[in-house]
Structures are given as structure tokens and as C-alpha cells.
Structure 1
Amino acid sequence: MSQLTELLPVEAIRLDAPAPDWQGAIRAAGDLLVSNGVSTDAYTQEMLRTVEENGPYIVVAPGFAFAHSRPSPAVRHTGMSWVRLVEPVPFHHETNDPVRLVVALAATDASAHTQAMGALARLLADSETVQALDQAPTPEAVRQILMRAEEPTEATGSAATAATAATAATAEPTAAKTARDSGGTHKILTVCGNGVGTSLFLKSTLDKVLDRWKWSRYVDTEATDTISAKGKASEAVAILTSREIARALGDVGVPVRVIEDFTSAKEVDAALRDLYDV
């Protein structure tokens, strides 16, 4: 059993839940965390404040919000909840509204759940898996889909993706040269408000694209929070983040590229090609 399904028991999955607005949707996900002993009501309030203070950057893909906040005393142990709403609600995101699926994460630290976030990002990037999850009749069915989808498979990718990867691979010598000229590998930061949730989603997608390009040896990636990113920007060649977080960062001295769908390899691929002129 993978870390994702270990963090998401069937009791933490609720389907066709009613919610009047985005606050109600987050509260529904937070209530499941509380009822399963993962966190207290205080953590639910922290998740709400995260959106109030930073905007709807947690809406990382069309129809999908990843609710979370920083590790805190309100978190008893790392866990997740899954709420599929009976009717979508707006989170006031510019491109990814309305939201029907809310997954909440409560983490005791910033690293224990990295594997689970990567697995979830890969699953939600697959349209067939998303459709199956959207139509699953029971919480047990959702969990079975997640378990099956997490089984290792040989990634084939589309012809367009393969062609892009081949083009990028031919540019490897340029990437290697610029990396050497800068004193080693390049670093790209993926940034969110807290550094423990959505930035890990984006890092997983970025790592997948770099692997396809065969550039992983030349480019290091790091998921971090808004405050830390301002200090670490001088170490990086670029930052990938949401529109809301990009506004909060302002001018940090390196290129900042906005990614609307954190699960989209195509969008991250385009951002990299722009950055490296591939």
C-alpha cells in the first residue's frame, strides 16, 4: 500500500457533500480530518486563513483544490481527507473555478508526505483516472481507484510530448554548459504559501518533465514557501508558482513563471522551453 492510501483511509472520504461556498467546502474537508483524529478544529481555521491571506492559489488544477496550512500544534499526525462536492463552488480562481474536489492535508512536518503529494499529482494529471474518481459511487470505490492507479506502469506519453522531450534532449549540451558556467547544476524553485502542499504538486510535475527531457542531472528542484523563496531566489535560475503567489513575491531578481494547472506537464514543459529558449 502506498503512502497516499496510507494517509487517506476510507473513513476520510466523503462523496456528494453539500457546501454553500468555498469556506464550507474547506470546512467539510477539515471536519473529516477532525473526525479521523488527524487534526483539531483549529487547523481547519488555519486552512481557511491560508486562502484568506494568500488568495485561491490552492486551486491547483481545474475543479480541484488542495486545502492545507503549515505544520502546527493543531495537527496530531499527518493525514488527508477527500471531499467530492455534490455541486461545484467558486473559489474565485481566475482559470480553475469552479471546484468540485477538495483534498485536505494536515502534516506534522514539511517532508513526510512528499511521496504522497507526488503520487496524487500524477493521478490527477491522468484524465481517465480523474473521470473514474468523479464517477466513483462510494468511498471504497475511490480508494480502490487510487490504489490501482498508483501501481507502477510504463509511461508512454503522447506523440507531442515525446517529440518535445526529444527536442529538449538535443539541447542537453547547452543546459550542461550553462550549468557548469554557473558553478554547478541549476536550481528551479516551486513556491506556494506554506511550502508543504501545492508547491510539492508543482515540483512533482516539474521533475517529471525534467526526467523526460533527461535534464534532471542539470537542474535541481526545490519546493518552498513564499517567505523562504524571497531569500532563496538568488540561488535559483527561475521560480514556478501560481498567479496569486507570483503577485505576493513581486520582483525577486529571477524569472517567475505562472503555472495555472499544477498537474499539467504540457504547461510546465512550455514554461521550461521559454526559460531555456528550447
Structure 2
Amino acid sequence: MAKAIISEDEIQVVDHVPDWTAAVKMASVPLIRAKVITNEYVDHMIQSVKENGPYMVLTDYFALMHARPGEGVNKPGMSLLVTKQSVDLAGKPVKIFLIMAAVDNTSHLKSLQKVMSVFMDDHSYQTILAGNRQQIITLLKKSEVAK
């Protein structure tokens, strides 16, 4: 079986977080533990929002968090944090924080396309938004098999 787009260890669901920076830090923990990214990358993501606003919020409640490829990234990876209560990210409510780490400008595009196809499906998106961790894991595993 192919490796899941986002592994079970990289998926977290919590009731709430104090603010969006805490959410980004929490969402990054699985990637830091696995040495996919460093704290430098987390700092770059936070700084990018502070400098450029909420451009990473792609749709209602969904933020694709990232920074420049390579800076603090050891290998490509993704992690997911779903908060049951929305968090204000520079004026936009967010419940889904998808962390994307890329080593260059192109190598992550296939996996990003796979994961975005899940998020763009309304039923799948609502499942993720509902915040049931086991259902999210099952959904992401099924999507990998279907590809």
C-alpha cells in the first residue's frame, strides 16, 4: 500500500487553541519530531503571515501554512491540525491548519495536488471540518488508495 499523504501520526484534532500562532506551532510538532522541519521553518511561517496578512487562508476555515522552500526544511512533508473552535488568523476564522514543508519549488506539487483534491471535495471537506480524527484518518487513507 502506498504511503498516506498525511500519516496518522501527523494528524491532530483539538477542541481549541489560544491563537493562530499556537495552532501553527502545535500543527508543526509532528514534523519537528520527525525531523522533517526545524523551528526555523515554523518561525518563517508565522513571520510570513505577520508581514503579508492572511493569504494562506484559501477558503472558509482552511489555511495552507507554508514558508519558502528549503529554509528549515529537511525533507518534504505535511501535517494537519483541526480545531473544533475556529481561531482568528489575521481577520479570517480558521479550523484547519495544513502545514506544508517543501525542499524546493516543485518536488511537493504532486502530494499537494493529492491532498488538495481531498480538501476540494465538499463531503470530504465537511468530514475534516467536523473534527473526528478517526474519520479524517480513514478519509485520507481512502483517498490515497483511490489515486
Give the TM interval when normalised to the shorter protein: 0.7 to 0.9
The residue identity in structure 1 corresponding to 2:139 is I
Whose strand proportion is higher, 1 or 2? 2
Relative distance call for 1:85 and 1:34 in structure 2 (3 A) is same
- Structure 2 contact 16–84 (Cα < 8 Å) conserved: yes
The residue identity in structure 1 corresponding to 2:138 is Q
- Structure 2 contact 83–131 (Cα < 8 Å) conserved: no
- For residues 86 and 143 of structure 1, the distance between their equivalents in structure 2, rounded to whole angstroms, comes to 16
Q: Name the counterpart of 1:130.
A: 125
- 3-state DSSP class of the match of 1:90? strand
Relative distance call for 1:42 and 1:126 in structure 2 (3 A) is same
Alpha-carbon deviations, 1:20-40, whole Å to 9, x = none? 111111111122221222111
Show structure 1 runs of 5+ residues with no match.
153-278
- 3-state DSSP class of the match of 1:66? strand
Relative distance call for 1:118 and 1:2 in structure 2 (3 A) is farther
Output the aligned Cα RMSD. Answer: 1.9
Q: Name the counterpart of 1:40.
A: 38
Q: Name the counterpart of 1:21.
A: 19
- For residues 138 and 117 of structure 2, the distance between their equivalents in structure 1, rounded to whole angstroms, comes to 16
Q: Which has the larger radius of gyration?
A: 1
Relative distance call for 1:90 and 1:136 in structure 2 (3 A) is closer
The residue identity in structure 2 corresponding to 1:25 is A
Larger relative contact order (Cα-Cα within 8 Å, sequence gap ≥ 6) = 2
- For residues 30 and 46 of structure 1, the distance between their equivalents in structure 2, rounded to whole angstroms, comes to 12
- 3-state DSSP class of the match of 2:84? strand
Show structure 2 runs of 5+ residues with no match.
none
- For residues 18 and 11 of structure 1, the distance between their equivalents in structure 2, rounded to whole angstroms, comes to 19
User: Structure 1 residue aligned with 2:110, among 115, 118, 124?
Assistant: 115
- The equivalences for 1:233-272 within 5 A come to none
- The equivalences for 1:153-164 within 5 A come to none
Q: Deviation at 1:137?
A: 2.8
- Structure 1 contact 129–149 (Cα < 8 Å) conserved: no
Relative distance call for 1:104 and 1:149 in structure 2 (3 A) is same
Q: Name the counterpart of 1:11.
A: 9
Q: Name the counterpart of 1:143.
A: 137
Q: Deviation at 1:17?
A: 5.2
Q: Name the counterpart of 1:76.
A: 74
- The equivalences for 1:169-208 within 5 A come to none
The residue identity in structure 2 corresponding to 1:39 is I
Q: Name the counterpart of 2:65.
A: 67
- What is the TM-score of this pair, normalised by structure 1? 0.49
Alpha-carbon deviations, 1:70-93, whole Å to 9, x = none? 123411111111000131111134
- For residues 122 and 10 of structure 1, the distance between their equivalents in structure 2, rounded to whole angstroms, comes to 18
Relative distance call for 1:66 and 1:28 in structure 2 (3 A) is same
- 3-state DSSP class of the match of 1:103? strand
- For residues 68 and 33 of structure 2, the distance between their equivalents in structure 1, rounded to whole angstroms, comes to 20
Relative distance call for 1:122 and 1:78 in structure 2 (3 A) is same
- What is the TM-score of this pair, normalised by structure 2? 0.88
User: Structure 1 residue aligned with 2:87, among 66, 86, 89?
Assistant: 89
